[in-house]
């Protein structure tokens, strides 16, 4: 009897501390199902849904779902964005254009860099201490863009900035389970690097199936899983539903960690010491989360010869993508 009561008290106290979640781009292909999944999460007590169009409509719809959290939609009125952000503990940014067949994620840079920069400016002003989760592509560049925006305002906390790469491990575990005939929930696959093409590096040698690191077709499928969806959608966009699931999982992990749960680990693209000596300031690896955001960046660990080659191929593109984001903010503050 005693222990559960204590647990309940701890839960409700910390729930008050960290429960407002804001989605920027909430009316989009990712934004809508992501917002719905967040509404289903009992750890979220307040949901703020902002978009340049359609935020209040999505909010009205989702607000009828009979869970306890409040939901409010915001338009780009002079104060709409700031109100959506104020008091937020987690801000997710899926705002931006998706790919069409034949495009790389880097082809989205010209449109999405300024969208993310401007939203980051607003977040740095209104909720500088919130965890900022970037979904908008190219993640390898949009995350450094946010860092530069926060640095320029003197509010950069590298422990609070995350590129969402969860979908890469979701895909990897699913694809492996299809090959091995297993339950994906039992397949934890580490994926490191960045979030585009060859910068995505699955480490099957560290999984239950080390033989799979030699399976070039599977490695390619994980690296180009996004293209598979873009092609199938045939001009109507990229992954939205699986991405919403992955984004909701990442937000839930942060909420659990912030409420005191130990050992919550997610892969995520963060300001990382792992390869800074090679000029790579951001890198996705397994990260232990805590009440302050990033608790501990876990090492990449042992890799085999196939994976070493993949890592080397990753570094070149990743470095360029990061530098492009930094240069963009320097030229367009
Ligand atoms: P979408 O076009 O369906 O939705 C984007 C939404 O952003 C739209 O509702 C639009 O009105 C809104 N928007 C545009 N500019 C805005 C601004 N300044 N402020 C607020 N909202 C704004 O696109 P989508 O399919 O939801 O994809 C969104 C982004 O997510 C794309 O860049 C896509 O490449 C990326 N993505 C990333 C991952 C990942 O793993 N990180 C996975 C899938 C998609
Ligand atoms: C994905 O991995 O599905 C996303 O990054 C969207 C895309 O452009 O592939």
CATH number at residue 106: 3.40.50.720
At 78, list the tokens. Answer: 């002079």
Residue bearing tokens 């993640």? 139
Closest residue (by CA) to atom 38 of ligand 1? Answer: 135
Q: What is the domain extent for residue 204? A: 165-322
Do the annotations mark residue 234 as ligand-binding?
A: no
Q: Please give the distance, rounded to the nearest whole angstrom, from the Cα atom of residue 303 to the centre of ligand 1.
A: 34
Q: Is pLDDT above 90 for 291?
A: yes
Domain end: 164, 186, 221, which one? 164
As beta bridge partners, residue 294 has: 289
Closest residue (by CA) to atom 3 of ligand 2? Answer: 226
Structure confidence at residue 11 as a pLDDT band (50, 70, 90): very low
Closest residue (by CA) to atom 7 of ligand 1? Answer: 95
Q: Please give the distance, rounded to the nearest whole angstrom, from the Cα atom of residue 3 to the centre of ligand 2.
A: 44
Q: Is pLDDT above 80 for 249?
A: yes
> Does 285 fall in a domain?
yes
> Does 9 fall in a domain?
no
Structure confidence at residue 17 as a pLDDT band (50, 70, 90): low
pLDDT score recorded for residue 12: 42
Same domain, 125 and 247: no
Q: Is pLDDT above 90 for 4?
A: no
As beta bridge partners, residue 92 has: 23, 133
> Does 29 fall in a domain?
yes
**Stretch among 1-10, 84-93, 167-176, 182-191 having the lowest mean pLDDT:** 1-10
Q: Does 287 sit behind a cis peptide bond, omega within 30 degrees of 0 on the bond before it? A: no
CB of 24 within 6 A of ligand 1: the answer is yes
> Does 3 fall in a domain?
no
Domain end: 138, 164, 190, which one? 164
> Does 32 fall in a domain?
yes
> Does 125 fall in a domain?
yes
> Does 15 fall in a domain?
no
Distance between first and last Cα of the chain? 57
What's the whole-number average pLDDT of the chain? 95
Quick one: average pLDDT of 119-145?
Answer: 98
What is the number of domains present in the chain? 2
At 267, list the tokens. Answer: 């892969």
Residues near 109 by beta carbon (within 8 Å), at least 6 away in sequence? 138, 141, 324, 328
> Does 183 fall in a domain?
yes
Quick one: average pLDDT of 290-297?
Answer: 97
Q: What is the ipTM of this complex?
A: 0.99
Do the annotations mark residue 232 as ligand-binding?
A: no
Domain end: 164, 190, 220, which one? 164
Residues near 31 by beta carbon (within 8 Å), at least 6 away in sequence? 23, 25, 49, 51, 58, 94, 95
Quick one: average pLDDT of 230-240?
Answer: 98
Quick one: average pLDDT of 152-164?
Answer: 98
User: Which residues approach ligand 2 with their CB closer than 6 A?
Assistant: 98-99, 105, 137, 167, 195, 226, 229-230, 238-239
Q: Is pLDDT above 70 for 195?
A: yes
Same domain, 174 and 317: yes
Structure confidence at residue 14 as a pLDDT band (50, 70, 90): very low
Cβ–Cβ under 8 Å, residues 193 and 201: yes
pLDDT score recorded for residue 295: 98
pLDDT score recorded for residue 9: 42
């Amino acid at each position: 009897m005693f222990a559960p009561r204590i647990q309940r008290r701890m839960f409700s106290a910390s729930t008050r501390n960290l429960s407002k979640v804001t989605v920027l781009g909430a009316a989009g292909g990712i934004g809508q199902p992501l917002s719905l999944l967040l509404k289903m999460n009992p750890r979220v007590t307040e949901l703020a849904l902002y978009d340049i169009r359609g935020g209040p409509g999505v909010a009205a719809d989702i607000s009828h779902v009979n869970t306890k959290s409040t939901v409010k939609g915001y338009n780009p009125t002079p104060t709409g964005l700031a109100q959506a952000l104020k008091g937020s503990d987690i801000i997710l940014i899926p705002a931006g254009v998706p790919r069409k067949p034949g495009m790389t994620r880097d082809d989205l840079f010209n449109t999405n860099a300024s969208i993310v920069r401007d939203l980051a400016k607003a977040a740095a002003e209104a909720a500088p201490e919130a965890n900022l989760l970037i979904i908008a592509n190219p993640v390898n560049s949009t995350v450094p863009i946010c860092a530069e925006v926060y640095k320029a305002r003197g509010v950069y906390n590298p422990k609070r900035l995350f590129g969402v790469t969860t979908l890469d491990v979701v895909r990897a575990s699913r694809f492996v389970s299809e090959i091995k005939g297993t339950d994906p929930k039992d397949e934890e696959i580490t994926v490191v690097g960045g979030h585009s093409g060859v910068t995505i590096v699955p480490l099957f040698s560290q999984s239950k199936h080390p033989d799979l690191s030699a399976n070039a077709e599977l490695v390619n499928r994980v690296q180009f899983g996004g293209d598979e969806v873009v092609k199938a959608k045939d001009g109507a966009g990229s992954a939205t539903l699986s991405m919403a699931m992955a984004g909701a999982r990442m937000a839930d992990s942060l909420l659990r960690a912030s409420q005191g749960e130990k050992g919550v680990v997610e892969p995520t693209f963060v300001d990382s010491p792992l390869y800074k000596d090679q000029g790579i300031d951001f890198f996705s690896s397994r990260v232990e989360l805590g009440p302050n955001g990033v608790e501990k960046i876990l090492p990449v660990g042992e890799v085999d010869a196939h994976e070493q080659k993949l890592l080397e191929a990753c570094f070149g593109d990743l470095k360029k993508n990061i530098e492009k984001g930094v240069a963009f903010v320097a030229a367009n503050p």
